Amino acid sequence: MRKTKNLKSKIIKKKASVLSFCPYIPKPYPLFFITPISPDSQPKLSLILRQQLPLFNFKSPKAQNTSISKMTKEVVGEGGSFTAKDYHDPPPAPLIDAAELGQWSFYRALIAEFIATLLFLYITVLTVIGYKSQVDPNKPGVVDPCGGVGILGIAWAFGGMIFVLVYCTAGISGGHINPAVTFGLFLARKVSLIRAVMYMVAQCLGAICGVGLVKAFQKSYYTRYGGGANSLNDGYSTGTGLGAEIIGTFVLVYTVFSATDPKRNARDSHIPVLAPLPIGFAVFMVHLATIPITGTGINPARSFGAAVIFNEEKPWDDHWIFWVGPFIGAALAAFFHQFILRAGAVKALGSFRSSASAV
């Protein structure tokens, strides 16, 4: 019995010593303990997975504190618990990363962006054309000109497809599916210049192919109901349309930054899993607000693909709005999140300049 008590006391001391070396670890981590099954049995080595935050040994020797100061410099003890004092982002992506061109994962990401944008345009443009067909008062058989899915249904189609496609491609390409999102992430040094440019090319090609499929399957309806092309609606000025695109894209890109914030991901393990949901809802809400103004662009690839296939004068006259507005909105969102809300990200600006000078 005395041996058991001595063993337990040693275990407690050993446990406190081990935990004092554990900084803030949000994921389960293994700790090995020697525990007796019963007073008469032999001690047994067991593996315990601890999910909660580790305790901190405030009474550890000064030499011990010095040796682990680097491990715990981001952790502050308050009442015996840990809180994240500051989180250091991963190193910024290089401005030019030629090594990417020799990696299969890079081309796999391009394929994922191409297919995702193709599917996005196919489903959403088909929804828009189907809605206009259902409410066309000149079409035989239309009893209720106010029927169909309506603006709410169109907004759900866009937001729902973004939710699904971001969920499917996030682990492969990051799930951008939008040149404005890619541009914002490039400004924040999340992707290199080569990756950003190639993503935009893949997205635009995917959008053209997606709208092309819609025209191939429903050519008569496609031409009759505008092909899903974006243009400034009657009664709205150019400034109003541009402002709607800037603010709408700001909402989307700001949501992307917040949903994929590595600091939140490190603190709350469920955040990466839920990231596609708020992004999809942001697209849904922006469409509800701006469909009456511009038909809602906030995605230059979406507007470009529809304009190329429809190829009429009106969409091309207003087309610059759907590139300038989203890019301005994305830049503002990147600056706001990275350099105002996340003051520590100012370091990325310095590395951006150093990389540019090196090139």
The enclosing domain of 172 has a CATH number of 1.20.1080.10
Does residue 257 fall inside a structural domain? Answer: yes
Residue range 313-334: average pLDDT? 95
Tally of domains in the chain: 1
Give the model's confidence band at 192: pLDDT under 50 very low, under 70 low, under 90 confident, else very high.
very high
Does 60 reside within a domain?
A: no
Mean pLDDT, rounded, of the chain: 78
Q: Which two tokens stand for residue 167?
A: 């969920």
* pLDDT tens profile 52-68: 444 434 344 444 444 43
In a domain, 69, yes or no: no
Q: What is the pLDDT of residue 319?
A: 95
22 — pLDDT class (breaks 50, 70, 90): very low
C-alpha pair distances (Å), 64 with each of 59, 67, 68, 333: 10, 5, 6, 44
Domain assignment present for 76 = no
Q: Is 57 part of a structural domain of the chain?
A: no
pLDDT, greater one: 86 or 341: 341
pLDDT of residue 261: 81
Residue 342 lies in a domain: yes
In-domain check, residue 66: no
- The reported pLDDT for the residue numbered 99 is 86
pLDDT at 114 over 80: yes
Domain limits for position 168: 98-358
Please, which pLDDT band fits residue 31 given cuts at 50, 70 and 90? Answer: very low
**Position 115 in a domain:** yes
pLDDT attached to residue 340: 87
